[in-house]
A and B are shown apart, each in its own frame.
Chain A
Amino acid sequence: EAGVTQSPTHLIKTRGQQATLRCSPISGHTSVYWYQQALGLGLQFLLWYDEGEERNRGNFPPRFSGRQFPNYSSELNVNALELEDSALYLCASSEVAISPLHFGNGTRLTVT
């Protein structure tokens, strides 16, 4: 069974540009979570999608947005990139609400 897949692995952008990150959950998982992990910091919750709807978002500005497609894959968009957006962005999926998260390999975003 394929795990959670994320693309691209690395992404380099300049300040002010937009970044798009993609995620495919484990087959059968309908929930997708996005987390940001800045260097030396913990995992900060960004967004939760379930059954195609945004269910919750963390304490991040509106320029962080996303969506979930009918096949449950998801996209995270970051507009007007700032230097402090440089981080590892992790996507995870779960089978049901209290199940553990299974993470993809992450996208390393670098903003210069």
Chain B
Amino acid sequence: QKEVEQNSGPLSVPEGAIASLNCTYSDRGSQSFFWYRQYSGKSPELIMSIYSNGDKEDGRFTAQLNKASQYVSLLIRDSQPSDSATYLCAVNGPLPGGSYIPTFGRGTSLIVHP
């Protein structure tokens, strides 16, 4: 069974700082990796997708993937109070039989204080 592990937090950072969120996964066959942001009581919102090793930047967000270490991270630069939310890591790849079922971590709670 695939596992995706995240530190539940909360991770507390001051406004303007860099927030670093980490995720490890168990299945070496995983092919696609995603970060979602979920505000309390709301549905997850896709922030970043990454498919190959290295860094991918989009605005204040940078996703980093290291398949050898089975590790994916999300950096948020110039953190804002509006970034306060739970961040979900999701991993996808073929299961036996060919199914593709994204597996989600339980999320890391981020608090950005003014």
Decide: A45 and B99 in contact? CB cutoff 8 A.
no
Q: Which residues of A contact B46 (CB under 8 A)?
A: 100-102
Return chain B residues, CB-CB under 8 Å to A110: none
- Assuming the A-B contacts A42-B107, A90-B43, are A101 and B90 also in contact, with contact meaning beta carbons closer than 8 angstroms in the complex? yes
Count class of interface residues, chain A:
20 to 34
Q: Is B106 an interface residue (CB 8 A)?
A: yes
Query: Residue B95 at the A interface, CB < 8 A?
Result: yes
Whether B21 is near chain A, meaning CB under 8 Å from some CB there, is no
Known: A41-B106, A43-B88, A56-B95. A98 touches B100 (CB 8 A): yes
A-chain residues with CB within 8 Å of residue B94 when the two chains form the complex: 97
Of the listed residues B51, B88, B101, B107, the one surrounded by the most CB atoms of chain A closer than 10 A to its CB is B101
How many pairs of A and B residues are in contact by the CB < 8 Å rule? 55
**Interface of A (DSSP majority class):** loop
Proximity string of chain A (60-99) to chain B, C-beta cutoff 8 Å, 1 when within and 0 when not: 0000000000000000000000000000101000000111
How far is the CB of B63 from the nearest CB of chain A, in Å?
A: 12
Complex formed: what's the CA distance from A8 to B92 in Å?
A: 29
B48 to A, closest residue via Cβ: A100
Cα distance, A103 to B47, chains bound together (Å): 12
**Smallest beta-carbon distance B105→chain A, Å:** 7
Q: Which of B6-61 contact A (CB under 8 A)?
A: 31-32, 34, 42-46, 49, 51
What is B's interface to A at a CB cutoff of 8 Å?
31-32, 34, 42-46, 49, 51, 88, 90, 92-95, 97, 99-107
Q: Which residues of A contact B (CB under 8 A)?
A: 33, 35, 41-43, 45, 48, 55-56, 58, 88, 90, 97-106
| Closest 6 pairs between A and B when the two form their complex, measured CB to CB | A42-B106, A97-B100, A43-B104, A103-B43, A98-B32, A56-B99
Q: Can you pick out 22 interface pairs between chain A and chain B where the beta carbons lie within 8 Å of each other? A: A42-B88, A42-B105, A42-B107, A43-B44, A43-B88, A43-B104, A45-B101, A55-B99, A56-B95, A56-B97, A90-B44, A97-B92, A97-B100, A100-B32, A100-B49, A100-B90, A101-B34, A101-B44, A101-B90, A103-B43, A103-B45, A106-B43
